[in-house]
Amino acid sequence: MKILIAYYSKTGSTEKVAEMIKQEFEEKGHKIEITKIAPINKLKAYQYKKNGKDLKLKKSVANVKKFDLILVGTPVWNFCPTPMVLAYLRNLINAKNKKFALFATCTALPGTTIQRMSSILLTKGGKVIASNTIRSIFPLDRKKLETAKEFAKQLSAKS
């Protein structure tokens, strides 16, 4: 399977989860491409429009035509996905009939994070087959990262 993992990470927690997922898929023999979502202009979190509209991103893989599965990860900001991830999802090309899996990291409640991401993908014709939210008020430890590995194992079995 050819898999894309796209994520935004400010503090490194979501990046650690993405790397753990990547490692698990690679061990299963899948071809992985990973892309980090980043804004062109770095601002303070409160300065971004919450909906991510008009946000310019650095070059990341947006055409998903060649992938069998696309994973998109985000930290949770104010019970929502980051504006960067929302902008990335809106800019996706060839998402119709593609399988998506979503993941989020947060310190408290995830709110509507997964639902908002799913809604954008549904309007693009994508199919969300799984999601996972990793909650921890402390830096991610081995036990929390193992849940990311288990998520990847379940996805590998589904696909």
Residue 41 has pLDDT above 90, yes or no: no
Reading the block at residue 13, the tokens are 């927690």
Look up the pTM and report it.
0.92
For the chain, the maximum distance between any two Cα atoms, rounded to a whole number of angstroms, is 41
Q: Would you kindly state where each structural domain of the chain is located, as residue ranges? A: 2-158
Distance, in Å, from the CA atom of 26 to the CA atom of 109, rounded to the nearest integer, reads 31
Reading the block at residue 86, the tokens are 């929302």
Better pLDDT: 119 or 108 = 119
CATH of domain 2-158: 3.40.50.360
Other Cβ atoms closer than 10 A to 125: 11
HEC assignment per residue over 35-50: EECCECCCCCHHHCCC
Burial class (CB in 10 A: 0-12, 13-18, 19+), 10: middle
pLDDT at 24: 94
Quick: pLDDT tens for 132-148. Answer: 999 988 888 888 889 99
Going by pLDDT thresholds of 50, 70 and 90, the confidence category of residue 14 is very high
What mean pLDDT comes out for the span 76-80? 91
Distance, in Å, from the CA atom of 52 to the CA atom of 158, rounded to the nearest integer, reads 31
